[in-house]
Structure 1
Amino acid sequence: MSLRLDERLAALDAALDAGDGRLPGPLVADARTVLARVRERAGLSAEHTVVALAGATGSGKSSLFNALVGADLAATGVQRPTTSHPLAVVVGADPDADGPTRLLDWLEVGRRHALPAGPVGPPEARAGSPGRRALLADGLVLLDLPDHDSVVTEHRGRAERLVARADLLVWVVDPQKYADAALHERYLVPLAGHDDVVVLVLNQADRLAAGEVDAVLQDLRRLARSDGLDRARVVAASARTGAGVDDLRDLVGRAVQRREATNQRFGADLRTVARDVVETCGPAPQGRRRDVDADRLIDALEDAAGVPTVVQAVRRSAVRRAGAHTGWPPVRWISRLRPDPLRRLHLAPGPAAAADVTRTSLPPAGPAQRATAVTAVRDHTDAALAGAPDAWVLAARSRLDTAALPDALDHAVARTHLLPERPVWWWRAVGALQWLLLAAAVTGGLWLAGIAVLAYLQLPDPVTPVWGPAPAPTVLLVGGVLAGLLVATVGALAGRLGARARARAARRRLRASVAEVAGRLVLTPLAAETDAWATCRAQAARAAGR
């Protein structure tokens, strides 16, 4: 389904906004000029269709103009150039009325005439040819342009300006210069895609024989196809004899009555510049950004942030803390002599507020790690923008603040929760049990010491209860020590298993922190750039669609 002119305008405008600073400056300037011209024309009279007669010197353009309107309004003659200023004929309305006045002021046409709609020519001429269909359509604004090959630069400039603003373009050629390279390369080739609003008129056809007219028309159609104007209408006419003039007038009249030429002309202008934008944007992204795996990028940033070192420190610190709570109390102090690995890195568990202002003592990333991180960022950027023009890739790289990555990663590691501040509940339970066992062993030792003192003093031995195969104090002493050592061993094994689990959990949290930094400094800016690229191309493709 074809877009309305306002929809095509909005789509191209969105494409240019998305490609701001990425698309070539001349292309953007040309596109903005087209947008402004289309908006200006859309705000003017929709009841009038501007038909411009353009041609080279000597093509008989002004004579054909007079023949179409049935009056000698345009000056003709042998002196060249004949037409220096454009001439307008407004059919069916006073050219001084508000609608045509604003339109002609925008066209910058000062010479204006008004003709009534209906039969062409004086009454006596119309009466003499009652079957004639020579009618001027109401709403026609017919322009006679200066010669496009005039030796006067100012004349050519006026012609080119009106060629860009007319709704329907009638190019008048003659049998001698219809294949002129300057006409085709400078004017017709740039109009490729404007088939619906381009008419090629072979004037002065009376100078050719009937067979020659057909041959020239066939060759003119071939040239039009090579210019990209496959559907352009080709008409043979003679302003001197009037042959073909009625056919051309009817063709123009139908275009005026349908009131589609304005939308067709400026829709084609928008499609042409939109196609240029699409080509500049390169191939469609096709969801590449979603398909690009960020794991390799995060892996490289983890390595640069020292995450493996931190994870190892978490495991060792968790083992140390578990031993400090579950080990045999008489030798626990030995474990405290070893420094806490996390504390050495300024990563000991503490308040979250303190983590926001604390830097770690991790060794800075080495050259290999930094190179790996930078390479990973660049590779990820290139993968996400695969197929994009260099301007988009360079713009994306300029948005990525890789210089801020080291500090941001260090801060992310510092604020990551690695270990709980308080001991785990089962550490406390095992610790309490250890103290009970130690108390039992101390009780048994003191009991045995008391018995030994009594024996040394040769006092009567107290009655000592027997628990199983040994006296109670011996059971308390030996059992308390052995049980304490056994509990310490089991606690150490459980502590190591728990330390591994805590190290894995810390690794997940550290990776999430690193991923947040990657998202903020790399992935989000890159996504904005790839989204802008996709939007630019998609909107331009929409504006370029028929």
Structure 2
Amino acid sequence: MNRPLTERVDALAEAVRIAGDVLPEDLTAAAAEVVARAGDRLRLPDHTVVALAGPTGSGKSSLLNALAGQDVAEVAATRPTTSEALALVRADGAGPLLDWLGVRRRHDLGAGTGLVVLDLPDHDSVVTDHRLEAERLVGLVDLLVWVLDPQKYADAAVHERYLRGLGGHRDVLLVVLNQVDRLTADERRACHRDLERLLAEDGLAGVRLLDVSARTGEGVAGLEAALADAARRREASRDRLAADLAVLGGRVVEACGSAARGGPGPVDPLVDALAEAAGVPVVVEAVRAAGVRRAAQVTGWPPLRWLSRLRPDPLRRLHLGPQDAGHTSLPAPAPGQLARARGAVRAYVDAATAGAPEAWVLEARRRADPAPDELAAALDAAVAATPLPRRQPAWWRVVGALQWVLLASAVVGLAWLAALAGAAALRLTLPEPPTWGPVPVPTAALLGGLLLGASAAVLARVLAAVGARRQARVAEARLRRAVAEVADRLVTAPVAHVLDRLVRARSAAQVAMAGRSRRR
């Protein structure tokens, strides 16, 4: 898809903004430099800037003089003479552009064809400043003409250090084989074919290769025509930016890896490990025990209810009562529990980031790596803030009231029997108590109250245990949800955010590298 250049620049800037702290520093810097340069270049005059680049002795300065039709650059046969870039200007109003390029030496030919040709210092200069200046300008110009000579065109250093890295800029590159006048016809053809082979090995198959002799003028007209055509179409600057965007966007896409991801990862093992570290099993058992204790206090046989009050409330002991808030008194997670929790966190991150580049996996691990103290505090706060079930079923009150009725019955029966026994001891005559079948009513009241009270207490205890287990399951579900929220805040959400950044950065980089290639 052929996207507007400004959209691609913005996309590369967006990709760097999203993923800048994960991408290699050199890639981030290079992308930022291209974005800044694009903004500057698109505001400058739409002239075409051509650079003559190459190694020492290739004849760049002689070629510049041939293009100018006069001696504008100093030439020496045995040593490099270009220590500072020289601009051959055939463009009106090129001053701001050359100022931006940082080129001071200028020769104005007066013809306003929109072409600026730079003679660069040698790339293999022994003077470091000359070499750095050449590399700087190569990164800024619109069209690059790489000048080689028959003696050093096959130099491995030239191909490995320079030409091989220009595969993404093939549409804004010309290669010139200079000094062909020194070769016979057969040698020229052989040299030309061999250079084409080397360029293909460099990833530059199909790049235009011109045979030129700056000394005799052979081939100079063809080079002039190619440069004039580029200046006339005024697309070289945009083509160069497009090539830079494609290269940098491609590098960002490569750094973001394949679009395939490992998915959200299994959450249950993570929650299980964190729940254990949070003391959820301890709290669940405390909820069950507290439910049984409260039921005994309400439904137990009244004379023995005080015994249940001798045992401390399991929830209050853990600071999980209604009046408690903020933190619990649960024991701190044991080292083994913390180790299992951190192992579960690592397993989740690895599963969620499966297939992602190593840098993004490391970023996800860094984001989802809470310190042990932070993790323990977050889990404790989650447990403390979880409302635990404390419901008292209505049947408790009914049984409790019944127990008092049965106790009263037993007390009345006991008092009646005591009165009868006392009267008999004092030889007093009292009416015979009524009977319930063969059993006197006082005896039935006493024994019935005791037996039914004990039976009610036992049955209530069994039912209360069932209800306590049900409340414990409710508590466990609520506590696991609270722990899952901690897992989401400290682990799953940070990992999802990193993976979302990865996808968005990759998409933006794909936009930056998307453009229609135009072959010269």
Q: TM class, shorter-chain normalised? A: 0.7 to 0.9
Q: What is the identity, as a one-letter code, of the residue corresponding to 1:234?
A: L
TM-superposition CA deviations, 1:79-129 (whole Å, max 9, x none): 6434443332333x43xx3xx211011112221314335xxxxxxxxxxxx
Q: What is the identity, as a one-letter code, of the residue corresponding to 1:35?
A: V
Q: Secondary structure at the match of 2:168?
A: coil
For residues 163-202 of structure 1, the aligned pairs below 5 Å read 163-202=138-177
Q: Secondary structure at the match of 2:146?
A: strand
Note the C-alpha offset of 1:221: 1.6
1:220 equivalent in alignment to 2:195: yes
Match of 1:272 among 247, 250, 259: 247
CA RMSD of aligned residues (A): 3.1
Match of 1:328 among 279, 301, 305: 301
Structure 2: how far apart are the matches of 1:502 and 1:326? 18
Note the C-alpha offset of 1:494: 1.4
TM-score, length basis structure 2: 0.86
**Which residue of 2 is the match for residue 34 of structure 1?**
34
Match of 1:410 among 360, 371, 380: 380
1:64 equivalent in alignment to 2:63: yes
TM-superposition CA deviations, 1:232-260 (whole Å, max 9, x none): 21122333444433332332233233333
Structure 2: how far apart are the matches of 1:155 and 1:458? 136
1:144 equivalent in alignment to 2:119: yes
Q: Secondary structure at the match of 2:139?
A: helix
**Which residue of 1 is the match for residue 339 of structure 2?**
371
1:507 equivalent in alignment to 2:476: yes
Distance 1:437 1:232, change over 3 A: same
Task: Tell me which moved more, 497-506 or 532-541.
Answer: 532-541
For residues 322-401 of structure 1, the aligned pairs below 5 Å read 322-347=295-320, 349-351=321-323, 354-356=324-326, 358-360=327-329, 362-386=330-354, 387-389=356-358, 393=362, 396-397=365-366, 399-401=369-371
Match of 1:311 among 284, 288, 291: 284
Conservation of the 8 A alpha-carbon contact between 1:381 and 1:397: no
Structure 2: how far apart are the matches of 1:328 and 1:177? 108
For residues 5-16 of structure 1, the aligned pairs below 5 Å read 5-16=5-16
Task: Tell me which moved more, 316-325 or 225-234.
Answer: 225-234
Structure 1: how far apart are the matches of 2:318 and 2:214? 95
Structure 2: how far apart are the matches of 1:496 and 1:310? 16
**Number of aligned positions between the proteins:** 511
**Which residue of 2 is the match for residue 296 of structure 1?**
269
**Which residue of 2 is the match for residue 121 of structure 1?**
none
Q: Secondary structure at the match of 2:322?
A: coil
Q: What is the identity, as a one-letter code, of the residue corresponding to 1:379?
A: A
**Which residue of 2 is the match for residue 522 of structure 1?**
491
For residues 72-91 of structure 1, the aligned pairs below 5 Å read 72-76=71-75, 78=77, 80-91=79-90
Distance 1:418 1:234, change over 3 A: same
Q: What is the identity, as a one-letter code, of the residue corresponding to 1:297?
A: L
**Which residue of 2 is the match for residue 122 of structure 1?**
none
Distance 1:400 1:542, change over 3 A: farther
Distance 1:198 1:243, change over 3 A: same
**Which residue of 1 is the match for residue 400 of structure 2?**
431
Note the C-alpha offset of 1:454: 6.0
Q: What is the identity, as a one-letter code, of the residue corresponding to 1:101?
A: G
1:287 equivalent in alignment to 2:261: yes
Distance 1:150 1:454, change over 3 A: closer
Match of 2:232 among 238, 247, 257: 257
**Which residue of 2 is the match for residue 129 of structure 1?**
none
Note the C-alpha offset of 1:312: 1.4
Task: Tell me which moved more, 184-193 or 100-109.
Answer: 184-193
Q: What is the identity, as a one-letter code, of the residue corresponding to 1:346?
A: H
Distance 1:402 1:39, change over 3 A: farther
Q: Percent identity?
A: 51
Structure 1: how far apart are the matches of 2:510 and 2:227? 31
1:106 equivalent in alignment to 2:100: yes
Structure 1: how far apart are the matches of 2:124 and 2:310? 98
Structure 1: how far apart are the matches of 2:259 and 2:76? 59
Note the C-alpha offset of 1:497: 0.9
Q: Secondary structure at the match of 1:165?
A: coil
**Which residue of 1 is the match for residue 110 of structure 2?**
115
Unpaired stretches in structure 2, ≥5 consecutive residues: 516-520
Structure 1: how far apart are the matches of 2:268 and 2:224? 69
